[in-house]
Amino acid sequence: MTNMPGSQPPIVNAMTIDVEDYFHVSVFDGVLPRTQWDSLESRVCANTDKLLEIFTEYEVHGTFFVLGWVAERFPDLVRRIAAGGHEIASHGYAHRLIYDQTPAAFRADVRRAKAILEDASGRRVNGYRAPSYSITPRSLWALDVLLEEGYRYDSSIFPIRHDRYGIPVSARGPYAIERSVGTLVEVPGSTTTAGPLNLPIGGGGYFRILPYWWTRWGIARVNRIEKRAAVFYLHPWEIDPGQPRLRASRLSSFRHYRNLDATEGRLRRLLTDFRFGTMDAVLEETHLHSARAAAALPYCW
């Protein structure tokens, strides 16, 4: 742990996993027809089980945003995750970018995913994370749909500039979004600041491609200076250097395949350097789990 003797107990950060297979990733949209998904070798169960073993070893519980397409085919995987004391949340059903869908299609997608996940786990699903963080200024209507479909928190609005996602002016920490249909709690992936820029520190490609010290420094900064929990994310395929190679553009291949063989070791370092829990732990800590408390917070952006 990074904090000094005699200081406050270390903050519990959120460990979040987007449970999908290597071929679901948005960089392969348009390259690999969805009709081929069922014919490809699936590695999501083995990779997720490996993450579950690692988390057991380090006594960490996390939030697993499971793709409905995966849960439908492998309900036992959902049950194993839930049985390990982890939170089951939703990554939607078909991994389509929200701004490429109609509101009706998006509603059907998140409703189907929630039903499959709740059936498999026997637990209520409260959280949602969009494929490729695709809640942007052109898909804010999705927040209303999520509330109407019974979701209580979202983790899809990244406060950064990126070619596929992000709302750079949105808040960096957890906040409440008041909509006419209710109040949704937003828990963004973590960033640090450099002048006017927000820079991602919290996982995925940034964790794999940039040196480990960047994430370690960033999370420590959020914990020590901002005195709040960081939200880290990873995908099961990111610890699988043996996954089949799919053809994509040079940039997409770099983003997807870089340092796959180093990620498990980095994850183990991260679990040694910081404390982690589910998204619930973060929501409790920030008192955003209560809708009443959430409603009292300022509306952001």
Q: How many residues bind Zn ion (CB under 5 A)?
A: 3
149 contacts Zn ion (rule: CB under 5 A)? no
Q: How far is the CB of 20 from Zn ion (least distance, A)?
A: 5
Complex with Zn ion: residue 101 or 286, whichever CB lies closer: 101
Quick one: which segment of 38-46, 115-123, 129-137, 181-189 binds Zn ion (CB under 5 A)?
129-137
Are 158 and 133 in contact, with CB atoms under 8 Å apart? yes
Please identify, using beta-carbon distances, which residue of 91 and 172 lies nearer to Zn ion.
Answer: 91
What type of residue sits at position 121? S
131 binds Zn ion (CB under 5 A): yes
Whether the Cβ atoms of residue 69 and residue 94 lie closer than 8 Å to each other: yes
CB of 209 to Zn ion, least distance (A): 17
Which lies closer to Zn ion via its Cβ, residue 11 or residue 130?
130
Helices (H) and strands (E) in the chain, counts: 11, 11
Which span (69-77, 126-134, 138-146, 190-198) binds Zn ion, by CB under 5 A? Answer: 126-134
Distance, CA of 79 to CA of 246 (rounded, Å): 30
Interacting stretch for Zn ion, rule CB under 5 A, among 128-136, 180-188, 265-273, 278-286? 128-136
Q: How far is the CB of 284 from Zn ion (least distance, A)?
A: 26
Task: Report if residue 238 touches Zn ion, rule: CB under 5 A.
Answer: no
In whole angstroms, the minimum distance from the beta carbon of 131 to Zn ion comes to: 5
Determine the Cα–Cα distance for residues 58 and 46; give it in Å rounded to an integer.
19
Q: Which is nearer to Zn ion, 125 or 220 (CB)?
A: 125
Site for Zn ion in 6-65 (CB under 5 A): 18, 20
| Cα(291)–Cα(104) distance, integer angstroms | 26
CA angle 293, 124, 188 (to 5 degrees): 50
Nearer to Zn ion, 202 or 297 (CB): 202
Q: Measured from the CB of residue 134, what is the shortest distance to Zn ion in angstroms?
A: 10
Choose the stretch contacting Zn ion; rule: CB under 5 A; options: 127-135, 209-217, 265-273, 281-289.
Answer: 127-135
Close Cβ partners of 61 (under 8 Å, ≥ 6 residues apart): 15, 55, 84, 85, 86, 87, 276, 277, 278
Neighbours of 247 (CB within 10 A): 9
236 binds Zn ion (CB under 5 A): no
Q: What tokens were used for 169?
A: 């002016």
Helix axes 141-148, 103-121, angle to 10 degrees: 40
Measured from the CB atom, the residue of 55 and 69 that comes closer to Zn ion is 69
CA distances from 19 to 81, 113, 177, 289 (A): 10, 13, 26, 24
CB nearer to Zn ion: pick between 18 and 154: 18
CA pair distance 111, 65, nearest whole angstrom: 14
Of 65 and 274, which has the nearer Cβ to Zn ion? 65
CB of 12 vs Zn ion, minimal distance in Å:
24
* Contacting residues toward Zn ion, per CB under 5 A: 18, 20, 131
